[in-house]
Amino acid sequence: MKCPYCGHTEDRVSDSRQIDDGETIRRRRECLACKQRFTTYEKVEKANFFVIKKDGSRQPFERDKLIKGILTSCTKRPVTMKQIENIVTQIETLNNNTHRQEVPSKEIGEQVMAHLKDIDQVAYIRFASVYKEFEDLQSFTRELQTMTDDDSPDSQNNEDN
């Protein structure tokens, strides 16, 4: 491993531990030349899937791109980076486990919204407004009404009847 401080290629590992439920190994290293310490992460590379966009084009799934989209909807909201990482990890794992090589972007968007709805409703609405391409105030209001109806005790009682 190349030292990020001096570029020397020899180091020693002072600590290793599993994180992310054993999905990742975190290693603390010490450069043998400059004695600086740094952290590296080791993770199994997964065979990712392709995303089928609305226009029919296909592109490889990009974890960072999904994180960026979710981060935008969570701006100034009490949503932690760890929560966002967990959402993306769950979506990535779910779609990799289906063994499909291609997943429509619509499915990924729906998965994100399902997670955000449970974490932060404002972030959910922000994400939905871009994802569902609200064209006017009425479509935005309809989504808010649907969300409110889903959460109201009356709607839960009506479902039982």
Q: For residue 88, what are the domain limits?
A: 50-134
Domain match, 54 and 122 both? yes
Domain match, 34 and 97 both? no
Domain match, 37 and 54 both? no
Domain match, 64 and 28 both? no
Domain match, 54 and 39 both? no
Domain match, 101 and 123 both? yes
The answer to whether 31 touches 5, Cβ cutoff 8 Å, is: yes
Report if pTM > 0.75.
no
- CB within 8 A of 120, min separation 6: which ones? 74, 77, 78, 79
Name the domain count of the chain.
2
Q: Dmax over Cα atoms in the chain, in whole Å?
A: 73
141 in a structural domain: no
Give the model confidence (pLDDT) of 105-123 as tens digits.
999 999 999 999 999 989 9
Domain match, 74 and 104 both? yes
160 in a structural domain: no
4 in a structural domain: no
d(CA 101, CA 108): 14
Give the model confidence (pLDDT) of 16-52 as tens digits.
999 877 888 999 999 999 999 999 999 877 668 999 9
Q: Tell me what the pLDDT averaged over the chain comes to.
A: 87
